[in-house]
Structure 1
Amino acid sequence: MSTGVHIPEYLQDGELIASEDLAREPAFWLAHVLLTMGDPGEPAEPYGVAASAYDAMVDRLGDPEQPWPVLRVCSDGGHTAYAVYANWEDQNNVDFFIRHPDWGRLGHLGQCGTDEAGPGLSWTELLALATSTHEGSEGLTDPSERLLLLLPMLGDADMPGEARDTVAGALSHCGIRADAASDLAATLLGEQESVGGTRWTLTGDNPIAVCSSPYSPRQVPLALGITQDQARALATALSSPVPG
Structure 2
Amino acid sequence: MRDIAKTVDIPEYLDTELVAGEQLAREPAFWLAHLLVTMGDLSADADEYDVHPAAFEAMLQRLSDAEQPWPVFRVPFGGGHMAFAAYANFEDENTVEFAVRHPAWGRLGHLGQCGPESAGPGLSWAELTAIAASVPENASDTEGLVDPAQRLLLLLPMLGDAATPEEAWGVVARALSRCGIPKDVAPRFARELLGTDADDWLVEPSWTVAEGNPVPVCSSRYSPRQVPIALGITLNQAQALADALRGDGRH
Matches within 5 A, 1:1-244: 2-11=5-14, 13-134=15-136, 136-137=139-140, 138-190=143-195, 193=200, 196-240=203-247
**How far has the Cα of 1:38 moved from its partner?**
4.7
Which stretch of structure 1 is more off in the superposition, 157-166 or 130-139?
Answer: 130-139
Code of the aligned partner of 1:3: K
**How far has the Cα of 1:194 moved from its partner?**
9.0
How many residue pairs match? The answer is: 240
Kept in 1: contact 2:162–2:201 (CA 8 A): no
Cα distance in 1 for residues equivalent to 2:70 and 2:181: 25
Cα distance in 2 for residues equivalent to 1:26 and 1:70: 17
For structure 2, the residue ranges without an aligned partner over 5 or more in a row are none
Kept in 1: contact 2:163–2:201 (CA 8 A): no
**How far has the Cα of 1:235 moved from its partner?**
0.4
Cα distance in 1 for residues equivalent to 2:61 and 2:22: 17
**How far has the Cα of 1:20 moved from its partner?**
0.3
Code of the aligned partner of 1:207: P
Code of the aligned partner of 2:94: N
Cα distance in 1 for residues equivalent to 2:223 and 2:134: 24
Q: Give deviations 1:19-75, integer Å, cap 9, x for gaps.
A: 100111000000000000151121011111000000110011001011100000000
SS in 2 for 1:98: strand
Kept in 2: contact 1:38–1:188 (CA 8 A): no
Code of the aligned partner of 1:220: V
Query: Identity of paired residues, percent?
Result: 61
Kept in 2: contact 1:155–1:195 (CA 8 A): no
**How far has the Cα of 1:232 moved from its partner?**
0.5
SS in 1 for 2:195: helix
Kept in 2: contact 1:37–1:191 (CA 8 A): no
Root mean square deviation of aligned Cα = 1.7
SS in 1 for 2:123: coil
**How far has the Cα of 1:161 moved from its partner?**
2.0
Cα distance in 2 for residues equivalent to 1:4 and 1:235: 29
Kept in 1: contact 2:99–2:110 (CA 8 A): yes
**How far has the Cα of 1:196 moved from its partner?**
2.8
Cα distance in 2 for residues equivalent to 1:108 and 1:191: 28
**How far has the Cα of 1:14 moved from its partner?**
3.3
SS in 1 for 2:204: coil
For structure 1, the residue ranges without an aligned partner over 5 or more in a row are none
Poorly superposed stretches of 4+, deviation over 3 Å: 191-195
Query: CA 1:63 to 1:196, structure 2 compared with 1: closer, same or farther past 3 Å?
Result: same
**How far has the Cα of 1:178 moved from its partner?**
1.0
Query: CA 1:46 to 1:182, structure 2 compared with 1: closer, same or farther past 3 Å?
Result: same
